[in-house]
Amino acid sequence: MDNSKRLLAHVGKAPGSECWQWQSQVSNSGFGRIMLRDNDGKMRMQSAHRASYATFVGSLSEEKKVVQTCGNRLCINPAHLELQDI
């Protein structure tokens, strides 16, 4: 299964909300987590919102953080994600 399908398999969309609510494993800091293949083909744990950005928007570097503009830590909607400097 490709990364986009794996991510979307764990999303719920609440009526009246544009957020893609993460409904699987959550880190101690309140962000979604998922095991996905990286560019080297190895499975590794990733933040769901960072994985969503990389999958649906484009590449990102470790020097940037991905933030949810909606303020919802469990949202992985690419339209709600933006890069910021660390």
Q: Where are the domains of the chain?
A: 3-85
Whether the pLDDT of residue 37 is over 90: the answer is no
- For residues 59-67, average pLDDT: 90
What architecture (CATH level 2) is domain 3-85?
Answer: Alpha-Beta Complex (3.90)
**pLDDT bucket at 52, cuts 50 / 70 / 90:** very high
Q: How far apart are CA 44 and CA 42, in angstroms?
A: 6
- For residues 12-19, average pLDDT: 90
Enumerate residues 6+ apart whose C-beta is below 8 A from 26.
32, 33, 74
The pLDDT value given to residue 49: 97
| Secondary structure class of 6 (helix, strand, coil) | helix
Whether the pLDDT of residue 59 is over 90: the answer is no
Q: What is the mean pLDDT of the chain?
A: 93
- Tell me if the pTM is above 0.95: no
Comparing 41 with 33, the larger pLDDT belongs to 33
